[in-house]
Amino acid sequence: MAKANQPENNQKNGNDKKEKRSGRVLGRVFRFSSRTLFILLLISFFAAAGFGLNVVLSSIKEAPEFDPSRFEQPLTSYIYDYHGNEHVRLHDGHNRIEVPLNEMPLHLQNAFIAIEDERFYDHIGISPKDIARAAYNNFRKQDLTDQGASTITQQLIRNGIISREKTYERKMQEAWLAITMEQQFSKEEILESYLNIIYFDSLNYGVEAAANDYFGKSVGELTIAESALLAGIPRNPSFYSPRRNFEESKRRQELVLSKMAEYGYITPEEADEARREEIQILPPEQKTNFDYNPYFIDYVEQEAYKILSELDIYEDPAIALNRGGLKIYTTLEPEIQEIVENVLNDEKYYPRTVVDENGKLQPQAAAVLAEPETGHIKALVGGRDYGLHNQDLRFLSERQPGSATKPVLAYAPAFEEKILFPGSVLDDAPTVFGSYFPENYGQTFMGLMSARYAVVRSRNVPAVQAYQMVTPKVGMEYAEKMGITTFRPQDEGGLALVLGGFTTGVKPIDMAQVFSVFANKGVKVPLTTILRIEDSQGKEIYSFRPKPEVVLSEVTAFLITDVLRDVTRGVGTASRLSNAVGRPIAGKTGTTSDHKDGWLVSYTPDYVLSTWIGYDLLTMGSIDEATKYCRQMSEVIMKQVHEGMPKRDFESPGGISRVTICSKSGMRPGEYCPDEHITSDLFPSGYEPKETCEVHVTLEVCAESGLLPAEYCPEIEVRHFLQRLVPYIPTDDNWRGPSGRVPGDAGMAPPTETCDIHGERPQAPVGLSLTSSKDGDQVQLRWNFGGPNDSRFNVYRSLDNETFELLNDKPVKSTNYKDNNVNPGTTYYYQVTSINEHGVESNPMQGSITTNEPPPPEPDPEPDPEPDPDPDNGDDNGDDNGDDNGDDNGDDNRNNNSGR
């Protein structure tokens, strides 16, 4: 207790009262200078009141030891940011502002003395007269504990040392301790402590806090009327509170004024004037005990309480936190916290905003930003407009994560256990897992794909396959080690957990913890907001000294990070994030099947950011493209918090190889793997695939139908196919989506059926006739056909009746054909087939012919006779006949044949 300074008495009647009090105090000191005398007096008072000597002595013996330190006023605790700047002052709702007695008006002091303890300056801590009166009244009621006779000193003892239970033992102990207190402290010190500790309702302790809250002024500015009103409250604070019950408070004030006038502290005129004074009570202030960054401070208080509880150096950690004068140094970066708050409070990052029945904005959001390497949480936001609606800490709320936990439960454990790697192939096809029939978003199946691509496109069926391969037990163990704290017994064993089917959900702060393991090379550093705590004497009682835990190997952490980087670019579900942030970043989205929750957890080597968006109540609706809003928030936050920082890439730990593989088998490319299925991916050294792809195969098929060749297929060709090692089954009524769905690459499967369009031969031609030309250089083929008129024919020829060659370039439309490429005197074998519209040929009609030998050459003409020596006779007859009949006729005939 501090020493009090009594103010100079400049009030009416003050000097006379002070002189009387001084005389009484002096006499009291002379009369009661011996402790033994006080004991005797106390025994006498209570014995006279009917308690009995043994009871009195026993109660005094069992009384707690008088300890002045118990009267020390609560000390405000302080919260500092990361840079050591004072950020917030904490108290536990005890709004207390201490002021010395000399700053309290005398009429205020007198008002309390008049109504609470009119003999305050005369008694020794207890009032024998009041005890006797109370004992008499209690005796009449047959209840020794009904009516008390507490002095101001006793009330102070009751508030600081002893319990408030109504027993005669407690009353005797209280009286004994009050007497003891009066021997160690002056009346002024006792009164000052009393006026600074007494309760006035509305969380106000002490007259200064009450004056501030009810009247908006300091205690030194209070009028007599206002002082009397305050003096009337402590007897029953909730009943006489001017806010709760103004009429009763006013009646009580008038009683106080009457007592003040009765005891001469004010005149009757002053009392009447005070009764007529209009009292103005201010409405309660709606504010928090800190002005900004409230979500962060709320969590600091929770974390500090947990730390203090574990330290076990305070009986009540809550009291120590709010009344112990602690200094709490935190990881808070006010500038970063402001960035995150501003983004989450910006309406443009939400779909249409509504106000629910509780006045809260919907939908809501949460964000956690931390340093993976240190575990320091730099920003926490649990909703929109904290100051306006005083909303919950949603970063601690449990919500369904959708696909955001796929890397946590399935892929990272599978990589660590060497079951899968980024290039390993899973089948996104209709698959039955016992009684579970998982669907993909959009109710489609894409077929064989790498684990990397399955994560990037957030495919559900491959994730369930991976989780089954890891086993739920192992997957949950890894997730728990990484930081998931919300598993329930019902979550064990179910494959739907990997798709976000938690019993209660996950916390955004847990998701930040988990992904910080990926960002920090597989090492878990517990997230914290508190760096150290000092007690009121400046002694360090706590320091954040984390014990890093290796959860994943560096290789696994790098592999999963490399996969998650692809989520933020290209065809990933958060594809714009990488370009927007402008530095290496990884992440994973999550959306529940009913679109109630959206997630994006992203990280760089410097920061991890967990964001969530959704409605407080699941019945309020859904959010289309929920992850889009998380991505937009994350883009702005991550870009701004990294400004001015050097770009850091995720460092490869070594022991990793990049291998060219087939994307449909995960093996080395084979000779039949098409270019579009050849890629490269990462594998731990020693685990590179060595086998060659066996899923890409070749097969002979009918060129027209693409099916296995039938007996009569006219054209066979070799094609490339994708041969699944494990067959799929089309969907049926067990799936939520339509029946009959197959994976997207089902069309690449080899045929299993035989061609059904080339199954029968058409009707064959009949009646083949073969005719050789006179000179043997041409063969004329003629046949009959009773089939369709639009049928076509093929003509074949052979010299040995074994190997036939097709003569016609195009199918023959008529039933005759002339072969002009033959030799005279040669035997030829012919076949004629009919062809239907599908190109199927009939059985051949056969025939053979030996071409004619050419006719023998004509003999040479005989020479002309010698000329007649008599020119007249010979020339006239011979020349005229020869020329006219031979030459002329011959020339005329040759021309006509040529012309025909």
Rounded distance between C-alpha atoms, residue 331 and residue 315, angstroms: 27
Q: Closest Cα to residue 396, out of 512, 510, 308?
A: 510
Interatomic CA distance for residues 621 and 623, integer angstroms: 7
> Which residues have a Cβ under 8 Å from the Cβ of 46 and sit 6 or more positions away?
55, 56, 131, 172, 175
Supply 125's token pair.
């801590």
What's the half-sphere exposure (Cβ side, CA atoms, 13 Å) at 828?
A: 27
Cis peptide preceding 363, ω within 30 of 0: yes
Tokens of 871: 């020119």
* 3-class DSSP state of 656: strand
Residue 536 neighbours by CB distance under 10 Å: 15
Please give the Cα distance from 91 to 97 (Å, whole number): 11
Integer CA distances (angstroms), 57 to 166, 175, 176, 502, in order? 19, 13, 11, 64
224 token code pair: 């007599």
**Residue 827 neighbours by CB under 8 Å, 6+ apart:** 799, 848, 849, 850, 851
Q: For the range 481-485, what are the long-range contacts, defined as Cβ-Cβ under 8 Å and sequence gap of 24 or more?
A: 481/524, 481/549, 481/551, 482/408, 482/412, 482/513, 482/514, 482/517, 482/524, 482/551, 482/552, 483/510, 483/511, 483/513, 483/514, 483/516, 483/517, 483/524, 484/405, 484/408, 484/510, 484/514, 485/510
CB burial string 421-432: b at 16+ within 10 A, e below: bbbbbbbbbbbe
User: What DSSP string describes 821-871?
Assistant: ---TT-EEEEEEEEE-TT--B-PPEEEEEEPPPPPPPPPPPPPPPPPPS-H
> 772: which 2 tokens?
């050789």
Longest dimension (CA), the chain: 212
Residues 317, 516: Cα–Cα separation, whole Å? 30
Using the Cα atoms of residue 385, residue 391, residue 395 and residue 398 in order, give the sign of their dihedral.
negative
* Rg of the chain in Å (alpha carbons): 53
Contact 340/294 with Cβ under 8 angstroms? no
Place of tokens 């847990």: 510
**Whether 116 is catalytic:** yes
493: alpha, beta or left? (left if phi > 0; alpha if psi -120 to 50): left
As given in the structure block, the two tokens for residue 459 are 């495919």
Active-site choice (77, 116, 174, 341): 116
The alpha carbon of 365 is separated from its chain's Cα centroid by a whole number of angstroms, namely 10
The token duo for 81 is 């940011």
Q: Which two tokens stand for residue 71?
A: 């009267």
Query: Is residue 534 within 8 Å of residue 541, measured between CB atoms?
Result: yes
Distance of alpha carbon 508 from alpha carbon 601, whole angstroms: 9
Q: Which of 77, 127, 397, 403 is catalytic?
A: 403
Instruction: Reply yes or no on whether 347 is catalytic.
Output: no
| Coil, strand or helix at 736 | coil
Catalytic sites, residue numbers: 116, 403
